[in-house]
Amino acid sequence: MHTISDYRDEFIAYLDSMKITKEPRNLYEPITYILGLGGKRLRPVLVLMTAEIFNTDFRKALDAAVAVEVFHNFSLVHDDIMDDAPVRRGKTTVHEKWDINTGILSGDAMLIMAYQLFENYEPNVFRDLAKLFSKTALEVCEGQQYDVDFETRDDVMLPEYLKMIEYKTAVLVAAALKMGAIVAGAPDEAQQQMYNFGLNLGIAFQLQDDYLDVFGDPNSFGKQVGGDIIENKKTYLYLKALNSGSEVIAKELEHLYSIHPKEAEAKINAVRSIFEKTKADQATKTAIADYTAKAFEVLDDMDIDPENKELLRQFGENLIERFRKFVLSML
């Protein structure tokens, strides 16, 4: 087995070899730009790792890995437009650097390009990859729509929120793991176990992202801290605080989530204080730990080589490491 760094390096080299230089330049340059901004590359690494776990040369899964990463970045381009986000991975977002129309068109092209990459596989593998990808892509769109709908609803419940982040974020992590297993020709049961492992890990990852959006360090977070509060997004933190039992606090929080001040710092600080006062921050930490534990329970039940199992565990632990380090720094 290779290391996580090996997979990441091989993926980046392969991605770099596929840079698009054709016309129209304003369609393809934003694609090269967003794909070149870095990021953790966790989804493509999962595709490659899983293929090798099932005794297949991971390079055979490179096209599937690129497809997952291209789709993920397509969703980020459109997500940033919908959120009017100025920063992504510490750099200017595509729609800010170019314009909204260019962001929409480049994102659409990325979705098509992702599907094209599956054409490099034999028919039965292509069929299974495309079927999973179509299901996943639609769920991501459903999750995004739930997210948008929640902004104007005042009756969002925690189970609804968890379903939203499952669709918007976790299903793509799960699909990445299953795609590697599909390319490797793994048994159906093993494919589903990989999917379930990724689903729980993906939910933990999104809850971590929600937490760091409020309490993270802007220098290491890579996005605008407080962005969810500015956009009045009803996150796990918000819903836990809202249902803390205090009517006064609930009304204050609802008021803060009804306003759009030009200078948002005071609003961010006030909401952050409520999250701490109601222990919503602690509840979110607990949820992150619980979903991580569920992922590792699935992993423990897998019938794979212990060394490979440990590599997946290491990946999951690395995924939440930045959160652990941040929490320790606050003690």
Q: What is the pLDDT along the chain (331 residues), one digit of tens a residue?
A: 788 889 999 999 999 998 888 899 999 999 999 999 988 898 999 999 999 999 999 999 999 999 999 999 999 999 899 888 888 888 999 999 999 999 999 999 999 999 999 999 999 999 999 999 999 999 999 999 998 899 888 899 999 999 999 999 999 999 999 999 999 999 999 999 999 999 999 999 999 999 999 998 776 655 668 989 998 889 999 999 999 888 999 999 999 999 999 899 999 999 999 999 999 999 999 999 999 999 999 999 998 989 889 888 888 888 776 555 544 444 4
CA distance 161 to 125: 34
pLDDT score for 224? 67
**For the domain that residue 232 is a member of, what is the CATH number?**
1.10.600.10
3-state secondary structure of 257: coil
Q: Of 205, 198, 193, which Cα lies nearest the Cα of 175?
A: 198
Amino acid symbol at 183: V
CA atoms within 13 A on the CB side of 95: 19
The angle subtended at Cα 114 by Cα 110 and Cα 115, nearest 5°, is 125
Q: How far apart are CA 287 and CA 296, in angstroms?
A: 14
Structural domains in the chain (count): 1
CA distances from 281 to 20, 59, 268, 278, 320 (A): 43, 41, 14, 8, 16
Residue 93: per-residue pLDDT: 95
Burial class of residue 29 in the structure, from the number of CB atoms within 10 Å of its CB (0-12 exposed, 13-18 middle, 19+ buried):
middle
- The CA distances from residue 163 to 26, 93, 250, in Å, are 36, 27, 23
Nearest to 34 by CA among 106, 119, 124: 106
Spatial separation of the C-alpha atoms in residues 118 and 143, rounded to whole Å: 24
Q: Is the dihedral of CA 205, 58, 7, 302 positive or negative?
A: positive
What are the structure tokens assigned to 191, written together? Answer: 């494919």
- How far apart, in Å, are the Cα atoms of 171 and each of 146, 211, 326? 15, 20, 26
What pLDDT sits at residue 227?
87
- CA 235/CA 241 separation, integer angstroms: 10
The alpha-carbon radius of gyration of the chain (Å, integer) is: 20
How far does the chain reach from its first CA to its final CA, in angstroms? 37
Structural domain of residue 93, as residue ranges?
4-329
